[in-house]
Structure 1
Amino acid sequence: MKSLLKNAREQKGLKTRELAQLAGIDQALISKFESGTRKPTKDQVTKLSQLLEIDYETLMVGWLKEKILYEIGDDEFALKALKVAEDEIKYNKTVSNLKLSTSLEKILKEIDSLKEKLDSHRQFDSFKIKQALELEYTFESNRIEGNTLTLRETDMVINEGLTISGKSMREHLEAINHQEAIGFIKELMNKSNSLNERDVLSIHNLILRGIIPEDAGRYRKVQVMIQGSSHMPPQPLMLQQEMEEYFIWYEINKNKLHTVILAAEMHERLVTIHPFIDGNGRTSRLIMNLILMQKGYPIANIKGDYENRMQYYQSLEIAQTKKDKEDFFLFIAQREKESLERYISILTQ
């Protein structure tokens, strides 16, 4: 930047004294700016850009570059720190640009009101209620993925240890595994509102345990296509970086967004990355509900019937291909509102 300032001043035919007078900056400081022994402030950069007719962006980039290099120098962690800083700046910008529609703001306010009402009736809560709702969640989440066990059969497999005639071993394992995964995220609830790679891989490991053991808790090593969707997940070589950015985004935004929006975002982002060969949907929904439960919200249970499943997939498709998450946010918010209303009705009947 120092040579840029000096060259621009000389091209304008100005002496350092004359530039100092025009800018209202001490002449000695102008000389130090040009020699690189002193850094101008942001306001001074703006003034010099205008007076010397230097492109503001060019000058600001040069100024920030020198400022960064001055601060971090050649520290051994400099490049890694810059990468993390780049991600934080990028994702902070994403959050600042997130504009909620009137419809979404309205339903979030309704959710906040229902959450307050639920909290005021917590003394009537019981283990039996939670157990029944968790069973329904396992049934519906598996039904979305094509599992044909009924709610009663799911109960018999999980709570009575029975084998259902005509149903595959995979369907039995999907029920048992999902219920164990719910138990695991309930353990994670007691941690601070954190989420890391180990947690996600552990959840996925439980989902696929005994079904595809070689892929349980491991990122896929092959490219995949999502049946019925035009979205193409990232190549396997990109998964580690994509997942690192996923957790960075969470750390940056976990205290900035409404819990329902944060949970929906983490669901959509994970299923869009599609890091696993199978079990992405169930894992993403469990992550979403972990975030909700950590903040005292009930499980957002997406029904597995045709109408709800199609609405769910269509809103995801729009988010993935058109980068418009409004429909998906509204869909998840509506499911959470329904869960709150039902929970309150159970506690107050």
Structure 2
Amino acid sequence: MKDLLRTAREKKNLKTREVAQLLGIDQALISKFESGNRKPTREQVTKLASVLDIDFETLMVAWLKEKILYEIGDDTRFGIKAMMVAESEMKYELTQKKREVSASLLRILNEIDSLKKLLDQKRTFDSFRIAQALELEYTFESNRIEGNTLTLRETDLVINEGLTISGKSMREHLEAINHHEAIGYIKQLMESGFSFTERELLSIHNLILRGIIPEDAGRYRKVQVMIKGSSHMPPQPYLVAKEMENYFLWYESEKKKLHPVVLAAELHERLVTIHPFIDGNGRTSRLVMNLILLQHGYVIANIKGDYDNRMNYYNALETAQTKNNKEDFLLYIAQIEKESLERYLSIIG
């Protein structure tokens, strides 16, 4: 593990002092990690993987291997037997976890993956104009969920023609422009081979609130908030930073284990449940969800903003937040992605 850390740091041309600053720990600890005289904590391993661009699974395996060997010491015979028993128990637990995905959700995920395979065969029929039209619809619907009254045609005129719509507020105009630019940003991330970190999240939110509430754009909230129409109470402001740290730790540990649609839905639900921003949480959460979907080759899951769809969406979220049951929300997002794939395929023929 020590060689892995040193090699990755040198590859990025970082000094131990710079790595220490990024992790918020003493420089001497980094040197001890690299010399093997000190072992990082699990949380530090996660941060090191992100900062040094090391595959999280590779680093975790190396870290756990060293921990196991240290604990076994000279008790090789007993150690091997203990590892065999542990392997058996872990395989059983893994099987149990797989069963946690309901039959209904598994069925939709299988249908989604069949549609994606078909889409992969037709990628040559993609066109800029189709993508532009679908992204416009996404901006329109995502803003409509939050109460924006611009029509689809008016949204088009604001974004693509630079027109001002009479009778509509400046905020509604900025919401359309900002969301459109946020989609452009996540597409840039896709092209650059990004890793999803706090920096990307705050950049997305900064674009969403730019010019609307500039002092809070790209910043976590400092006051308590309530979600209109919901009985869920987001965490107190002093807990937000820690909750968000746990959010990214969860992402790093689960990003290669979960089906991409489930991962995207979970990131959406977890973010909007923390409600880390004073405003723009819904739009930001949906953009994060779609960033993950696009990263894995799926299409934008466009939740409609009409009354029925909005209520189904809110009710599924409420159940996840207040009853600790995410099944309805995961099913809802999976169904939206399936329908979005079907529509995309019908358009490109």
After TM superposition, give the deviation of residue 97 of structure 1 in Å. Answer: 3.6
In structure 1, the partner of 2:222 is 221
| TM-score after normalising by structure 1 | 0.74
Amino acid at match of 1:127: F
In structure 2, the partner of 1:289 is 290
In structure 1, the partner of 2:101 is 100
Distance 1:84 1:323 in 2: 29
Whether the 8 Å CA contact 2:150–2:172 is kept in 1: the answer is yes
Note the alpha carbon deviations across 1:166-206, whole angstroms, 9 max, x for none.
Answer: 00000000000000000000011124462100100000000
Note the alpha carbon deviations across 1:4-43, whole angstroms, 9 max, x for none.
Answer: xxxxxxxxxxxxxxxxxxxxxxxxxxxxxxxxxxxxxxxx
In structure 2, the partner of 1:81 is 41
After TM superposition, give the deviation of residue 82 of structure 1 in Å. Answer: 5.0
Distance 1:229 1:183 in 2: 31
Whether the 8 Å CA contact 2:145–2:304 is kept in 1: the answer is yes
In structure 1, the partner of 2:82 is none
In structure 1, the partner of 2:52 is none
After superposition, the Cα gap between the structure-2 partners of 1:210 and 1:154, relative to the gap in structure 1 and judged at 3 Å, is same
Distance 2:142 2:94 in 1: 30
User: Any gaps of 5 or more consecutive residues in structure 1?
Assistant: 1-70
After TM superposition, give the deviation of residue 77 of structure 1 in Å. Answer: 7.3
Amino acid at match of 1:103: S
After superposition, the Cα gap between the structure-2 partners of 1:284 and 1:212, relative to the gap in structure 1 and judged at 3 Å, is same
Distance 1:297 1:267 in 2: 16
- Structure 1 segment 43-54 matched on structure 2, within 5 A: none
Distance 2:137 2:214 in 1: 26
- Structure 1 segment 107-256 matched on structure 2, within 5 A: 107-192=108-193, 194-256=195-257
After TM superposition, give the deviation of residue 81 of structure 1 in Å. Answer: 1.4
After superposition, the Cα gap between the structure-2 partners of 1:168 and 1:251, relative to the gap in structure 1 and judged at 3 Å, is same
Q: Alignment length, in residue pairs?
A: 272
Distance 1:114 1:261 in 2: 16
After superposition, the Cα gap between the structure-2 partners of 1:77 and 1:181, relative to the gap in structure 1 and judged at 3 Å, is farther
After superposition, the Cα gap between the structure-2 partners of 1:198 and 1:86, relative to the gap in structure 1 and judged at 3 Å, is closer
Identity among equivalent positions (%) equals 71
RMSD value, Cα: 2.4
Whether the 8 Å CA contact 1:170–1:211 is kept in 2: the answer is yes
- Structure 1 segment 308-327 matched on structure 2, within 5 A: 308-327=309-328
- Structure 1 segment 13-28 matched on structure 2, within 5 A: none
After TM superposition, give the deviation of residue 242 of structure 1 in Å. Answer: 0.7
Whether the 8 Å CA contact 2:182–2:204 is kept in 1: the answer is yes
After TM superposition, give the deviation of residue 259 of structure 1 in Å. Answer: 0.5
Note the alpha carbon deviations across 1:256-293, whole angstroms, 9 max, x for none.
Answer: 11110000000000000000000000000000000000
- Structure 1 segment 262-341 matched on structure 2, within 5 A: 262-341=263-342
Distance 2:166 2:184 in 1: 27
| TM-score after normalising by structure 2 | 0.74
Q: Give the secondary structure class of the aligned counterpart of 1:178.
A: helix
Distance 1:233 1:241 in 2: 13
Q: Which moved more, 1:327-336 or 1:182-191?
A: 182-191
Note the alpha carbon deviations across 1:69-102, whole angstroms, 9 max, x for none.
Answer: xx99xx9976x7155579999xxx9997461111
Q: Give the secondary structure class of the aligned counterpart of 2:214.
A: coil
Whether the 8 Å CA contact 1:194–1:251 is kept in 2: the answer is no
